[in-house]
């Protein structure tokens, strides 16, 4: 997704016009709110002068309002600017503008495009607090979400000294896309996360789009041995690549003074992923450029040389290629290693909108060659698995992937407000071979086992069985994992529904004739916020009489992993109450569930 409506690009132009406009039409109105002086200037322009020293200016947001422009001014200079859907008729929620470090005597805001009659003038307030405690029934328990505001792609994932860093596309000024920053969180176990606010904020080169981080162990860039170096796209009217570095283990980042480090005349030129290529002893940057990937090399992270392009005639091209990754993985059961090029695509996914495809092949430090150009391979067969990238420098040679659990078709409209979007559960990637082809396997990362609380095991049972989780656990159980093995006798369809007392359900089934696993969320709860939401997603299966399945259920998602991760399917759901029951059925024969365990999943922190 790239919105041309990204308004940062117009800032320079608009700002100078605005300042002239302000000086020309001074029309002061009396103060409405004691801690501010609000002056309306006509034509939707206003100035707010801050009169009280507080930590935050809390701005009231109405999501149905258009974006208004705000310029934060300290000592007559613009120090920050943002687009905010300021409340005109009603307040949906508040967003904070952090005023720390500014003296109220020198601080004011210019507002553009907001009528004098808008409710925001009465509702905005100064405060030392901004409450981020959860107010959403759909906020996941064990999936990562931003403390507040909008999130899309995971960015800059890097492991260093026992800590997993996760950065992410963040809008701190609303729960819809815009004002892209890199939010930052850390974890030592991939399931308990600590929020650290925004690490990289927009500047004169643009907003901060997706990218990656590396640990520069040998100080190739000269920022210091062990510096974390971040690469991101500066997005304004054009997209260019920039870098920033941290010499305090990711606590603070300093932008490189000579940004941008890479430019192009192409409009879609973004999402740098940087890796170290051991054989050629060079850094490699893979970039998404329109519908191809470009590969660059560098000895020092600053000077980049184009080595090759990849994409024409390869895989799916239903939309723009975004958020690439390039990793080397061992092939299960062999001594071989192969390179995997991850390519996120929007639109053009198998069920509409966004999806992650990948290519398996060779890479010599210059050129990636796909083993099977005729095949399109999808990493996940659900509708809500996008912008997948892996952790850099992960321990034990692991390649841990994380996806944004949404789809650009409806991401801005899903029924949450205090925050919007979660990430998938982390998955370890590996390769396996089937019918002479090499595929990626997505295994839920071992850290997820830590979430398991109480477990209820059932002995072998036949079809037509129903279990109520609340009864099994004698407690409300709405976040859980089911692990089961199914042995088919002669059924054509093996199916089961997760459902609640409101008749809302997610139906899953194996069709043994068509060799497909499917998940139907058309009756899953609230599906009306987008015509693209109610869907049945399907994954090819290999067949055979024994099927293993792990299901991860959180407040607003179902993730299915079949046969140790040989297929994965991730879908959002918004039930009016949790699905606390499961019931099994068969068509055309019968089967046994030979092992069935439900684990209550809880986060310890
Ligand atoms: C993918 C994407 C990236 C871009 C970012 C902007 O979801 O469109 O290509 O960098 O989102 O937020």
Ligand 1 lined by 6 (C-beta under 6 Å) = no
Ligand 1 lined by 1 (C-beta under 6 Å) = yes
CA distance 70 to 84: 7
Tell the residue nearest (CA) to atom 6 of ligand 1: 209
Distance 211 CA to ligand 1 centre (A): 9
Angle at 471 between CA 470 and CA 473, to 5 degrees: 70
Fold type of domain 149-411+424-444: Tachylectin-2; Chain A (2.115.10)
Measure CA 340 to chain center: 21
Average pLDDT over residues 316-345: 97
> Residue 538: left if φ>0, alpha if ψ -120 to 50, beta else—which one?
beta
**CATH code that applies to domain 448-601:** 2.60.120.560
pLDDT in the model for residue 17 = 33
Strand partners for 185: 166, 195
Contacts of 400 by beta carbon, 8 Å cutoff, 6+ apart: 157, 190, 390, 391, 394, 426, 427, 428, 429, 445
Ligand 1 lined by 153 (C-beta under 6 Å) = yes
Q: Write down the residue that tokens 């796909």 correspond to.
A: 370
pLDDT tens digits, 479-522: 999 999 999 999 999 999 999 999 999 999 999 999 999 999 99
Strand 461-462 relative to strand 239-246: parallel, antiparallel, unpaired? unpaired
Ligand 1 lined by 403 (C-beta under 6 Å) = no
Task: Show the tokens assigned to 453.
Answer: 């609380």
The model carries a pTM of 0.94
Q: 590: burial class by Cβ within 10 Å (0-12, 13-18, 19+)?
A: middle
Distance 169 CA to ligand 1 centre (A): 8
Smallest CA-to-CA distance from 38 within 120, 128, 104 is with 120
Average pLDDT over residues 336-342: 98
pLDDT tens digits, 413-453: 999 999 999 999 999 999 999 999 999 999 999 999 999 99
pLDDT in the model for residue 423 = 98
Ligand 1 lined by 323 (C-beta under 6 Å) = yes
CA distance 71 to 436: 59
Q: Is the pLDDT of residue 10 over 50?
A: no
Whether the bond into 58 is cis, omega within 30 of 0: no
Residue 546: Cβ within 10 Å count: 10
Topology agreement, domain 149-411+424-444 and domain 448-601: no
Alpha helices in 348-483 (DSSP H): 469-473
CA distance 272 to 294: 10
Residue of 514 and 477 predicted with greater confidence: 514
Average pLDDT over residues 385-400: 98
Distance 1 CA to ligand 1 centre (A): 5
Average pLDDT over residues 186-214: 98
pLDDT in the model for residue 464 = 85
Closest-lying ligand 1 atom to the alpha carbon of residue 322: 9
Distance 93 CA to ligand 1 centre (A): 25
Q: Is 92 a catalytic residue?
A: no
- Band (143; pLDDT cuts 50, 70, 90): very high
Q: 510: burial class by Cβ within 10 Å (0-12, 13-18, 19+)?
A: buried
Q: Is the pLDDT of residue 85 over 90?
A: yes
Inter-residue contact 210 to 233 (CB < 8 Å) = yes
Average pLDDT over residues 572-593: 97
- Band (34; pLDDT cuts 50, 70, 90): low
Which phi and psi angles does 319 have, rounded to 5°?
A: -165, -165
Average pLDDT over residues 191-210: 98
Inter-residue contact 274 to 231 (CB < 8 Å) = yes
CA distance 396 to 75: 51
pLDDT tens digits, 175-195: 999 999 999 999 999 999 999
Distance 511 CA to ligand 1 centre (A): 36
Contacts of 539 by beta carbon, 8 Å cutoff, 6+ apart: 381, 516, 517, 518, 562, 567, 568, 569
Inter-residue contact 202 to 192 (CB < 8 Å) = no
pLDDT in the model for residue 605 = 54
pLDDT in the model for residue 543 = 84
- Band (463; pLDDT cuts 50, 70, 90): confident
Q: Is the pLDDT of residue 226 over 80?
A: yes
pLDDT in the model for residue 131 = 96
Write down the domain spans for the chain. Answer: 36-127, 149-411+424-444, 448-601
pLDDT in the model for residue 9 = 33
User: Kind and range of the H or E element at 124?
Assistant: none
pLDDT in the model for residue 507 = 98
pLDDT in the model for residue 604 = 79
User: Kind and range of the H or E element at 528?
Assistant: none
* Ligand 1 pocket, mutate which of 210, 325, 355, 356 (most atoms under 8 A from CB): 210
- Band (157; pLDDT cuts 50, 70, 90): very high
Catalytic residue, chosen from 153, 268, 380, 428, is 153
């Amino acid at each position: 997704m790239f919105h041309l409506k990204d308004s940062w690009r117009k800032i320079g132009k608009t700002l100078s016009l605005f300042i002239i406009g302000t000086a020309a039409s001074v029309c002061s109105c009396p103060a409405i709110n004691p801690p501010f002086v609000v002056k309306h200037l006509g034509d939707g322009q206003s100035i707010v002068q801050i009169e009280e020293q507080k930590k935050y200016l809390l701005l009231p947001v109405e999501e149905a309002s258009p974006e208004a422009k705000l310029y934060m001014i300290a000592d007559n200079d613009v120090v920050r600017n943002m687009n905010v859907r300021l409340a005109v008729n009603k307040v949906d929620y508040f967003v904070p503008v952090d005023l720390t470090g500014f003296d109220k005597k020198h601080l004011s805001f210019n507002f553009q495009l907001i009528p004098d009659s808008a409710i925001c003038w009465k509702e905005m307030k100064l405060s030392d607090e901004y409450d981020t405690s959860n107010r959403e029934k759909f906020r996941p328990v064990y999936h990562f979400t931003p403390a507040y505001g909008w999130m899309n792609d995971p960015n800059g994932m890097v492991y260093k000294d026992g800590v997993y860093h996760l950065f992410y596309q963040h809008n701190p000024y609303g729960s819809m896309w815009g004002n892209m920053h890199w939010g930052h969180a850390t974890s030592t176990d991939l399931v308990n996360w600590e929020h650290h606010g925004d690490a990289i904020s927009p500047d004169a080169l643009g907003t901060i789009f997706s990218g990656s981080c590396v640990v520069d162990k040998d100080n190739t860039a000269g920022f210091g041995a062990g510096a974390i170096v971040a690469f991101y796209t500066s997005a304004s009217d054009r997209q260019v690549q920039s870098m920033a570095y941290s010499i305090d283990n990711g606590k603070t980042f300093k932008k490189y003074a000579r940004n941008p480090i890479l430019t192009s005349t192409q409009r879609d030129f973004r999402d740098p992923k940087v890796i170290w290529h051991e054989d050629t002893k060079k850094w490699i940057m893979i970039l998404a450029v329109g519908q191809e990937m470009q590969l660059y090399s560098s000895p020092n992270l600053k000077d980049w040389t184009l080595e090759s392009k990849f994409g024409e005639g390869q895989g799916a091209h239903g939309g723009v290629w975004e958020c690439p990754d390039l990793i080397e993985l061992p092939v299960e059961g062999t001594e071989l290693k192969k390179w995997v090029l991850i390519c996120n695509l929007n639109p053009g996914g198998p069920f509409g909108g966004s999806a992650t495809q990948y290519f398996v092949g060779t890479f010599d430090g210059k050129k990636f060659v796909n083993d099977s150009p005729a095949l399109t391979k999808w990493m996940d067969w659900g509708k809500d698995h996008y912008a997948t990238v892996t952790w850099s420098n992960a321990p034990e040679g692991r390649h841990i992937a994380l996806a944004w659990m949404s789809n650009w078709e409806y991401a801005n409209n899903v029924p949450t407000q205090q925050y919007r979007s979660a990430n998938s559960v982390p998955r370890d990637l590996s390769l396996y071979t089937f019918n002479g082809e090499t595929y990626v396997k997505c295994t839920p990362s071992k850290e997820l086992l830590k979430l398991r609380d109480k477990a209820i095991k059932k002995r072998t049972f036949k079809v037509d069985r129903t279990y109520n989780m609340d009864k099994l656990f004698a407690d409300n159980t709405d976040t859980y994992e089911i692990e089961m093995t199914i042995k088919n006798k002669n059924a054509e369809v093996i199916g089961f529904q997760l459902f609640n007392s409101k008749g809302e359900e997610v139906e899953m089934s194996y069709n043994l004739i068509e060799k497909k696993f499917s998940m139907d969320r058309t009756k899953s709860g609230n599906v009306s916020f987008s015509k693209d939401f109610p869907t049945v997603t399907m994954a090819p299966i290999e067949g055979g009489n024994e099927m293993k399945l792990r299901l991860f259920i959180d407040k607003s998602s179902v993730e299915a992993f079949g046969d140790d991760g040989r297929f994965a399917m991730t879908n959002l759901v918004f039930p009016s109450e949790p699905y606390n029951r499961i019931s099994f059925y068969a068509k055309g024969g019968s089967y046994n569930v030979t092992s069935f365990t439900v684990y209550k999943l809880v986060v310890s922190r």
